Chain A
Amino acid sequence: MKFNSALRNFVLVLFSTLLISACSMTKKASVDTVDDVYTGTDTVEYLAKGVPDRVFFATNKSKLTTRSRDTLRKQATWLRKNKDVTVTLEGHADERGTREYNLALGERRANAAKDYLMTYGVSGKRITVISYGKEKPVNPASTPLAWSQNRRSVTVKTN
């Protein structure tokens, strides 16, 4: 009997641990977007240590968030230090819009990033902008999380 109850306690503990970890997992997914903008790091790559390569946007928007501006200031600092580097800003949209409008939207997003980099001292001559609209998703899933990861402007070294 004693053994049995000990076993039962163990099973209960194990079960509740599973529950907690399941909770924290769902929590993590919802934390990955704030106000429709992706805040996670799953798809992010780095231009240099501590310099993320991309910023994210809300649906149909091209406004830079506080977090995006922070990322772009880091990029600007790094670009000012590495004067030979030229970059292309690739603007993207998610798959939930018409193709032509999304091309325009990707262009507007990449240019929002470009303007910010220029404000922080990066010459416009070092920056090329290209929009891919909805044509190049980084995450091909049809989920709100994937769409938030795809609404992005990515800074890519071109030399």
Chain B
Amino acid sequence: MKKIIITLLFFIFSVQNANSLIKVDITRGNLDPLPIAVSPLHVDEKSEDLKGLKEKKLGEEISKIIERNFKSTGLFNPLKKDAFVQKPDIAHIKPRFEDWRLIKAQALVTGKILVKDKKLKVEFRLWDLTAAKEMVALSFTTTPTNWRRVAHIISDKIYERLTGETGYFDTRIIYVSETGPKDQRIKKLAIMDQDGNGTKYLTLGNELVLTPRFNPTNQLVTYMSYFKNMPRVYLLDIETGIQEVVGNFPGMTFAPRFSPDGKKVIMSFAKDGNSDIYSMDIETRKVERITEHSSIDTSPSYSPDGKYIAFNSDRSGLQQIYVMRSDGTQVKRITFGKGLYGTPVWSPRGDLIAFTKVRKGRFYIGVMRSDGTGERLLTENYYQEAPSWSPNGRVLIFYRETKSDSKGKGFSAKLWSIDITGYNERMIKTETDASDPSWSSLLSK
């Protein structure tokens, strides 16, 4: 895959103080989403005609992506464009606030674009209609083929301004694409934009692949492959396509994840039937054994400061979640509720651990504090697991499988997301069936 190069030049025109301006509270389920009008971006008539680029439609397309992003948060209610009261170019200079308030909009996004010298120049403004003020004004320049990312970056900037949290729209999801009947599944690594656009397949499907996860810079992916019938953890460079096996282990390695500094891969290694947790330094190739126990130890996940590791073990007799220092000392069980617990994943904010819980034949995705207190179950279903965090720690993505009939028909695997408030559960569209999602960090920081 080619690296997406984006050159951003931010010119901050003005940023107003937060006081008295509209603010969206994302710490609880929002049953009253903020009405927002996203005006189509005005396309400057001096824009060049570039091959393969429908620049006349670009302003409208960008506004549509922004609207879809906002709608997917459940926090905003993008208003229908046919009620809009001002032309895009005029509104961008200065909106007639009272007219926009008439259609019940509280915030307005305007902008204009110019394609010149094979560059795309985009400018946008966010207006608080109630206070009749400009909240954000930014402009940037990039290569025209990056116009979708421009839409996501604008979405992030507005989300940040209105919620006080970093956004998560300019991100990608890596996952396992699944096709074919349930007992002969073909699995490939696939990558797509957070909104389901631009799917690319990274492996051909000749061998079983599982559990891909990004490194902190999103250039490397660690995953498990059954290449040559040897189940091992691999590294894949997304730009060059180069793959290599991680370490020289004489048995199965699985459940890989990067350390927060990206220097190590932590994973399970199965020796004589017993799985323990190991880490390998990618540069020095030094392997370190972290747990030594006769029970299954797997699904390790570092805390964002790298000091702790949450993992899954059945040393109590059944699957539970444990936390230890990253050198393997001070192992402490943190789950004591009824049922089985698996797949702990530390939030990028460090405050919560997401997990899968199995109880009475039902599967739950939940979150708890890193000491195991404050357990909250967000969603219940027939089968779902493997949560992965949005980079701002507000949304979880996971996969869900359906029950199949006596012939194995009716089976499906899909990606879903849910806010940690427990609200806004939605299916994420993928070209094929999908599982094992992993959310990237923000591509432009």
By a beta-carbon cutoff of 8 Å, the part of chain A in contact with chain B is 60, 62, 95-101, 103-105, 107-108, 110-112, 114-115, 129-132, 135-143, 146
Residues on the B chain within 8 Å of A146, using CB: 406
- Cβ of A140: which chain B residues have Cβ within 8 Å of it? 181-183, 404, 407-408, 411
Chain A: CB-nearest residue to B402: A142
B252 touches A130 (CB 8 A): yes
Residues of B participating in the A interface, judged by any CB pair closer than 8 Å: 181-183, 185, 208, 210-211, 229, 231, 251-252, 254-255, 268, 270, 272-275, 296, 298-299, 312, 314, 318-319, 340, 342-343, 356, 358, 361, 382-383, 385-386, 401, 403-408, 411, 435-436
Instruction: State which of B185, B270, B318, B406 has its C-beta within 8 Å of the C-beta of A143.
Output: B406
Q: Is the CB of A108 within 8 A of B274?
A: yes
| Beta-carbon contact of A141 and B405 below 8 Å | yes
Given contacts A98-B356, A99-B386, contact A107 B401 (CB under 8 A): no
Identify the 7 closest CB pairs spanning chains A and B, nearest first.
A111-B273, A140-B408, A98-B342, A140-B182, A104-B275, A100-B255, A104-B296
Q: Which residues of B contact A132 (CB under 8 A)?
A: 208
Q: In the complex, which residues of chain A have a beta carbon less than 8 angstroms from the beta carbon of B340?
A: 60, 97
Pair A105/B182 contact, Cβ less than 8 Å:
no
**Contacts A95-B401, A131-B270 hold; do A101 and B407 have CB atoms under 8 A apart?**
no
B231-A130 in contact (CB<8A): yes
Q: Which of A104, A112, A136 makes the CB contact (< 8 A) with B270? A: A104
Minimal beta-carbon separation of A120 from chain B (angstroms):
17
Residues of B within 8 A of A111 (CB): 272-274
**Neighbouring B residues of A96 by C-beta, 8 Å:** 358, 361, 383
> B348 → chain A, closest Cβ, in Å?
20
Tell me, in angstroms, the Cα distance from A107 to B251 when the chains sit together.
10
B319 contacts A101, CB within 8 Å? yes
- The answer on a CB contact under 8 Å between B342 and A101 is yes
Q: Given A101-B296, A101-B319, A131 and B404 touching (CB < 8 A)?
A: no
B406 and A100: CB pair below 8 A?
A: no
Assess whether A107 is in contact with B386, with CB atoms less than 8 Å apart. Answer: no
- A-B contacts, 19 of them at CB < 8 A, read A97-B342, A98-B299, A98-B319, A100-B211, A100-B298, A100-B342, A101-B314, A103-B275, A103-B298, A104-B254, A104-B268, A107-B273, A107-B275, A111-B272, A130-B252, A137-B183, A138-B183, A141-B407, A142-B411
* Whole-angstrom distance between the Cβ of B31 and the nearest chain A Cβ: 32
Q: Assuming the A-B contacts A131-B231, A140-B183, are A99 and B296 also in contact, with contact meaning beta carbons closer than 8 angstroms in the complex?
A: no
Report yes or no: A100 in contact with B318, Cβ–Cβ below 8 A.
Answer: no
Report the minimum CB–CB distance from A102 to chain B (whole Å): 10
Kindly state the separation between the CA atoms of A154 and B212 in the bound complex, as whole angstroms.
28
Contacts of B183 in A (CB 8 A): 136-140
Set of chain A residues within 8 Å of B342, measured between Cβ atoms:
97-98, 100-101
B386: chain A residues within 8 A (beta carbon) = 98-99
Please determine whether A100 and B383 come into contact, CB atoms closer than 8 angstroms.
Answer: no
B358 neighbours in A (Cβ, 8 Å)? 96-98
A140–B405 Cα gap in the complex (Å)? 8
Q: B404–A130 contact, CB under 8 A?
A: no
B379 to chain A, nearest CB (A): 15
B276 to chain A, nearest CB (A): 10
**Which residues from chain A contact B405 at a C-beta distance below 8 Å?**
141-142
Beta-carbon contact of B255 and A135 below 8 Å:
no
A154 vs chain B, min Cβ distance (A): 14
- A131-B270, A137-B408 known, 14 other contacts, Cβ within 8 Å: A62-B273, A97-B340, A100-B312, A103-B231, A103-B298, A104-B298, A107-B252, A107-B275, A108-B296, A112-B273, A129-B273, A140-B181, A140-B407, A141-B406
Which B-chain residue is minimally distant from A145 (CB atoms)?
B406
| A101 contacts B270, C-beta separation under 8 Å | no
Instruction: Please give me the residue from chain A that is nearest to B183 by CB atom.
Output: A140
Distance from A111 Cβ to chain B, minimum over Cβ atoms (Å): 3
The chain B residue sitting closest to A141, CB to CB, is B406
Identity of the chain A residue whose Cβ is nearest the Cβ of B341 in the assembled complex: A98
- Inside 8 A of B275's CB, which chain A residues have their CB? 103-104, 107-108
A142 to chain B, nearest CB (A): 4
Does A103 contact B255, Cβ atoms closer than 8 Å? yes
Cβ contacts under 8 Å, B408 to chain A: 137, 139-141
